């Protein structure tokens, strides 16, 4: 089944919603349109001129990136500048570009969880809470012949997401009774005659942030001009989200051995180590935050981390970390490239579940600007 970019991104955002991004983070569509059919999707860490050329060569319709290509406003758009020319090339070849940034870091089973999985760190918490989201329940009554379409529409709108499960719902069959007035325009029945219809009560839960989209989907599919439904607040504990992860290794290791494991796992030629102690010190509690997470080191300390793994640590911040007694491993920013294969795996799973006729392609361009000599 061929699909549109909108359909693909709707499924993507069920897993990695935009509302989880940190305030001011320019996630979402950056270039082009999603209102078009797509056949080839490519996942990349960065949008660089070399990646754009790869996308053109591979006839990509939709490019999904971890790092937003337009992070700051563009004052001019000229083809003389290589950075700006790549935007022109993307538009010229009708390649839409969509970015998921800090929301990819924050989601459970997201980038920081994958880092922990690769390093065999058992996650116990996130480093810093970013969101608390209350859940609500919708119970809608719909003729049984429309129940399947209603469940599909509510799922597409983001309802029914529970942990590692999506499109969860509960249905109960009963009889709905009503009498249309002379001013009514009933989809079933006649004016001033009592009608009895076999209906399904469909219950779904959803995060309060998705209420407008869920109700819009319900109204769009419901055949009645006056749908019957209930909105129920839930007293369940809110779903909590946060940046970074804290966890433990199965057994203590030396800082030296942990550095070696980080190098092997992420296929690094080198890394930077900041430590107030010696590399033979034993460690077990690890905090990790992909990308430029130096600013979160006080949160790593609050969680009692022996080691904090993050990238792009500056000179003076390194002094502060050292003075605070925290060991920090800086493997660089580019280790986030693991999101490419992980998301291709997710996309192929969605493709199979939804019976989509698309090709999901990992970018093979190395966008790491650093080399070790």
pLDDT, tens only, 196-213: 999 999 999 999 989 999
Question: What's the pLDDT score for residue 271?
Answer: 96
Q: Classify residue 271: in a domain, yes or no.
A: yes
Q: Classify residue 372: in a domain, yes or no.
A: no
Q: Classify residue 373: in a domain, yes or no.
A: no
Q: What is the mean pLDDT of residues 218-242?
A: 95
Q: Classify residue 35: in a domain, yes or no.
A: yes
Residue 116 maps to which CATH number?
3.40.1390.30
252 and 115 co-located in one domain: yes
Residue ranges making up the domain that contains 267: 111-130+242-331
Tens-place pLDDT, residues 258-310: 999 999 999 999 999 999 989 899 999 999 999 999 999 999 999 999 999 99
The separation between the first and the last C-alpha atoms of the chain, rounded to the nearest angstrom, is: 49
Alpha carbon distances (Å) from 142 to 106, 136, 156, 179: 36, 19, 17, 16
Question: What's the pLDDT score for residue 324?
Answer: 97
Cα(20)–Cα(312) distance, integer angstroms: 23
Tens-place pLDDT, residues 24-56: 999 999 999 999 999 999 999 999 999 999 999
What is the token pair recorded at 280? 């033979």
What is the token pair recorded at 111? 């980038």
Structural contact between residues 152 and 169, judged by C-beta atoms closer than 8 angstroms: no
Alpha carbon distances (Å) from 229 to 13, 139, 143, 174, 203: 25, 5, 13, 14, 10
Q: Classify residue 39: in a domain, yes or no.
A: yes
* Alpha helices by DSSP H, 157-194: none
Question: What's the pLDDT score for residue 165?
Answer: 85
319 and 171 co-located in one domain: no
Q: How many CA atoms lie within 13 A of 331 on its CB side?
A: 25
Question: What's the pLDDT score for residue 73?
Answer: 84
260 and 119 co-located in one domain: yes
249 and 322 co-located in one domain: yes
CA geometry: angle at 121 spanning 119 and 124, to 5°? 150
pLDDT beyond 80 at 163: no
18 and 49 co-located in one domain: yes
221 and 268 co-located in one domain: no
Question: What's the pLDDT score for residue 80?
Answer: 92
55 and 94 co-located in one domain: yes
Kindly report whether the global pTM for this prediction surpasses the value 0.85.
yes
14 and 97 co-located in one domain: yes
Residue 144 maps to which CATH number?
3.30.70.120
Tens-place pLDDT, residues 47-102: 999 999 999 999 999 999 999 999 888 888 999 999 899 999 999 999 999 999 99
pLDDT beyond 90 at 373: no
Q: Classify residue 368: in a domain, yes or no.
A: no
Q: Classify residue 66: in a domain, yes or no.
A: yes
Which residues, other chains included, contact 280 with Cβ-Cβ below 8 Å and sequence gap of 6+? 254, 255, 256
Structural contact between residues 242 and 303, judged by C-beta atoms closer than 8 angstroms: no
165 and 88 co-located in one domain: no
Largest CA distance in the chain: 86
Q: Classify residue 54: in a domain, yes or no.
A: yes
Question: What's the pLDDT score for residue 166?
Answer: 84
10 and 71 co-located in one domain: yes
**Chain length of the chain:** 373
Cα(270)–Cα(27) distance, integer angstroms: 31
209 and 358 co-located in one domain: no
Provide the domain count of the chain. 3
Q: Report CA 198 to chain centroid distance, whole Å.
A: 39
* DSSP H/E element including 143: strand 135-143
Tens-place pLDDT, residues 111-147: 999 999 999 999 999 999 999 999 999 999 999 999 9
Q: Which of 237, 258, 281 is where one domain is finished? A: 237
Cα(202)–Cα(218) distance, integer angstroms: 11
Cα(360)–Cα(362) distance, integer angstroms: 7
**Taking each helix axis from N to C terminus, what angle separates 82-92 and 49-57, rounded to the nearest 10 degrees?**
20
Cα(228)–Cα(243) distance, integer angstroms: 40
Question: What's the pLDDT score for residue 225?
Answer: 93
232 and 356 co-located in one domain: no
Tens-place pLDDT, residues 314-367: 999 999 999 999 999 999 999 999 999 999 999 999 999 999 999 999 999 999
Q: What is the mean pLDDT of residues 174-194?
A: 93
Structural contact between residues 4 and 36, judged by C-beta atoms closer than 8 angstroms: yes
């Amino acid at each position: 089944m061929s699909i549109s970019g909108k359909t693909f991104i709707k499924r993507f955002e069920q897993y990695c919603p935009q509302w989880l991004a940190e305030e001011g983070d320019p996630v979402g569509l950056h270039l082009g349109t999603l209102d078009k059919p797509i056949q080839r999707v490519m996942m990349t860490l960065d949008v660089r001129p070399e990646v754009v050329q790869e996308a053109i060569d591979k006839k990509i319709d939709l490019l999904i990136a971890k790092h937003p290509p337009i992070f700051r406003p563009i004052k001019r758009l000229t083809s003389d500048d290589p950075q700006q020319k790549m935007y022109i090339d993307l538009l010229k070849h009708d390649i839409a570009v969509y970015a998921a940034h800090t929301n990819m870091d924050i989601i459970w089973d997201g980038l920081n969880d994958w880092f922990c999985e690769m390093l065999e760190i058992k996650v116990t918490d996130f480093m810093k809470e970013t969101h608390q989201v209350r859940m609500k329940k919708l119970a809608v009554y719909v003729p049984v012949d429309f129940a399947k379409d209603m469940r599909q529409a509510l799922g597409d709108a983001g309802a029914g997401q529970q942990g590692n499960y999506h499109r969860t719902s509960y249905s109960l069959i009963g009889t709905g009774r009503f009498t249309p007035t002379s001013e009514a325009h009933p989809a079933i029945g006649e004016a001033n005659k009592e009608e009895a219809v076999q209906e399904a009560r469909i219950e779904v839960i959803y995060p309060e942030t998705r209420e407008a989209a869920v109700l819009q989907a319900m109204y769009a599919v419901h055949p009645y001009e006056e749908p019957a439904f209930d909105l129920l607040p839930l007293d369940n504990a809110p779903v909590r989200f946060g940046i970074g992860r804290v966890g433990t290794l199965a057994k203590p290791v030396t800082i030296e051995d942990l550095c070696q494991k980080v190098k092997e796992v992420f296929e690094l030629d080198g890394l930077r180590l900041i430590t107030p102690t010696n590399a033979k010190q034993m460690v077990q509690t690890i905090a990790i935050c992909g990308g430029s997470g130096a600013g979160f080191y006080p949160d790593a300390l609050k969680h009692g981390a022996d080691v904090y793994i993050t990238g792009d640590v500056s000179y003076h911040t390194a002094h502060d970390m050292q003075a605070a007694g925290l060991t920090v491993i800086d493997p660089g920013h580019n280790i986030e490239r693991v999101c490419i294969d992980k998301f291709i795996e997710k996309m192929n799973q969605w493709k199979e579940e939804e019976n989509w006729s698309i090709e999901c392609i990992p970018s093979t361009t190395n966008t790491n600007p650093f080399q070790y000599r």
